[in-house]
Amino acid sequence: MFRRWLALAVLCAGTAGAAGPSYSAAGIVNASNYVAGPFAPNSVVSIFGTGLARSKYALAASDISGGMLPVELNYVRVYVQDQPVPLLFVSDGQINFLMPTNIRTATPVPVRVVTEGISGPEIMVNLADAAPALFPIAGGYTIATNADNKLLTADAPAHGGDTVVVYLTGLGVTAPNPVTGQILNVPATALAAGALKITLGGKVFDPMLIKYVGLTPGSAGLYQINLVVPEGTGTDPEIVVAAGSVPGQTGLRLPVR
């Protein structure tokens, strides 16, 4: 599970070439689908720009101390409301970080990058209690596994009656709620679970078939939804997860036969 989480944390990490921390509001997006905010507490967020780090560096197990993620990687820090936040990946062109878990969502907050002691611009970003975003993979599918933790693909799909686990970010505060950057090894239910609206193949998903919505144990910023695929579900249905007034992303499918 830890290796899977690290892979997701740096998913789609890009590169660029320039010097000095330079970025704009348009370059601060959700790390999974590259959509601009709002962002939920404990979301994985990407900053795209130039001169963000001296070289590429991805979080390693040795960077984690006492179950806490580091707030500095490769001489880079990101500040949200002037507080350093956990980092997952840095490079010249991209940074992946975690929004604080206890941040208030009522007002915009400032974000800035400090690279080798040099601060970039302060950018205001909007927040929400929940802003779910799925992780895309090749073929237009969302990242999901079966009950045996095997990745679902067109060649290894789920079937009606199967329990599957769909991975995403942006579900916000949980119970228990981790300290910012803390890796919990126990289930933590998302408080926004009741506000979620899931559709599968254009049909509203039966809440009775949703078995768990919350953090993935052994991770930070990675959430999962455990659900039972309804009998009679068509081939590769589109899956959409929305919350409150934040619309769900479209275009991703769940491998089902």
Topology of domain 2-125 in CATH is Immunoglobulin-like (2.60.40)
Model-level pTM? 0.89
Residue 122, both tokens: 């302060």
Structural domain boundaries in the chain: 2-125, 133-243
Cβ distance 165 to 71 under 8 Å?
no
pLDDT in tens, the chain (257 residues): 544 545 554 554 544 444 579 999 999 999 998 999 899 999 999 999 999 999 999 999 999 999 999 999 999 999 999 999 999 999 999 999 999 999 988 889 999 999 999 999 999 999 999 999 999 999 999 999 998 999 999 999 999 999 999 999 999 999 999 999 999 999 999 999 989 999 999 999 999 999 999 999 999 999 999 999 999 999 999 999 999 888 888 999 999 99
Cis peptide bond upstream of 217, omega within 30: no
**CA–CA gap between residue 152 and residue 149 (Å, rounded):** 9
**CA–CA gap between residue 10 and residue 3 (Å, rounded):** 11
* Residue 143, CA distances (Å) to 7, 46, 121, 218 in order: 12, 19, 34, 18
